[in-house]
Amino acid sequence: MIRARQLEFGDRERWAEFVRLSSSGTLFHLPEFFDYHPPGRFDNHHVVLEDEGDGSIVAIATGALSTVNGERWFRSYPGASWGGLVLNDGAGLETVEECVDALIAHARGLGAAGMEMTSPPLVYHRRPSNYLDFALVRRGFTYRKRELTAVIDLGRMGDEVELAFRDSARRGASRARRMGIEVFEEPDFSAFYPVLETNLQERHGVRPTHTIEELERLRGLLGPGMITQFVARGEQGVLAGMVMFRCNPRVTLAFYISHDARFQALRPVNLVYQEVIRWARDSGYRHLDLGTFTLDMQVNRGLCRFKESFSARGHFRDTFTGRIDG
């Protein structure tokens, strides 16, 4: 039998170790990730699912309680790209279904009327399966949305990574080099942040998810090598950049990508893509996730084509929703 209970401060060490050794755990599931959020931003309620016999951890569900249309819902996780159920390699279908049932019963006991869950794409799993999807759909859950994220299979690239790109992508990177632009690893977030902030405001009317202070705090909490920033510099200054998250040993995620629109014709982003892809392959990652090119299942065609030109292809980032008060 599997029991569910809220994770407590004393569980942190076991929690972190389980995530690191799991099949599907990522940076967004680690206790250190939740430490950077200011108190009160979310009503966090993380759940551990344990074997009643020996007390060992079977799964973890990071989540928070939210108000949805006047009702209480358990959401995994509203403050991250995804949450879902973190499982180990040994979890078969029967175990996954037992975990889902225990989590639903726990959320129902909290007075939740429904549950929402966004899982990492399958490329993040050490041993991919659709057992969780099956268990949720079998219990009446439906897809609220199925976003597409652009994933590069680094194992399919040879020594010359640019040979995997379309001509337009290679030409753009070559032009940037001819214009004297170079890409560097840059630890100072303030070097790239103004470019990111301006671009998001002008194009989408939004601010970055993190402030500079939050990025610095998150990097400090997670430790060396978990967040890496690359910038493209020319004689005009910083023209573009990319902030990479080490989600797990298999996948690195481009959490922020942006450029100075005034210098778009110099193609600094093309060179950033090329050099980061080379870095990710040389660092031993299997996949590089360039982030979504859909929003609420509406496709940004230009962004889709651009990411595809660097050999990326779309993978589902699914969000399930279902009522549990029946």
| Cα gap 32→201, rounded to integer Å | 29
- Specify the pLDDT at position 38: 78
Residue where the block lists tokens 């206790």: 31
- Specify the pLDDT at position 51: 96
- Specify the pLDDT at position 41: 85
pLDDT in tens, 16-40: 999 999 999 999 999 999 998 877 7
Tokens of 102: 């225990």
Tokens of 157: 């690239």
pLDDT in tens, 131-190: 999 999 999 999 999 999 999 999 988 777 888 899 999 999 999 999 999 999 999 999
For range 208-224, the mean pLDDT: 94
| Cα gap 96→93, rounded to integer Å | 5
CATH topology match: 2-140 vs 151-317? yes
- Specify the pLDDT at position 111: 96
Q: Which residues of 160-173 are buried (b: 16+ CB within 10 A; e: fewer)?
A: ebbebbeeebbebb
- Give which of 146, 155, 77, 71 is closest to 111, Cα–Cα: 71
Count other Cβ atoms within 10 Å, centred on residue 186: 18
- Specify the pLDDT at position 160: 79
| Cα gap 234→239, rounded to integer Å | 7
For range 94-113, the mean pLDDT: 98
Is the pLDDT score of 89 beyond 90?
no
Q: Where exactly are the structural domains of the chain?
A: 2-140, 151-317
| Cα gap 73→116, rounded to integer Å | 7
CATH class label, 151-317 = alpha beta
- Specify the pLDDT at position 316: 98
Angle at alpha carbon of residue 13, lines to 79 and 26, rounded to 5°? 40
Q: Which DSSP string do the residues of 143-207 spell out, in sequence order? A: EEEEEEEEEEEGGG--SSGGGGS-HHHHHHHHHHHHTT-EEEE---HHHHHHHHHHHHHHHHS--
pLDDT in tens, 282-324: 999 999 999 999 999 999 999 999 999 999 999 999 999 999 9
For range 234-261, the mean pLDDT: 97
| Cα gap 190→208, rounded to integer Å | 13
CATH class label, 2-140 = alpha beta
- Specify the pLDDT at position 162: 84
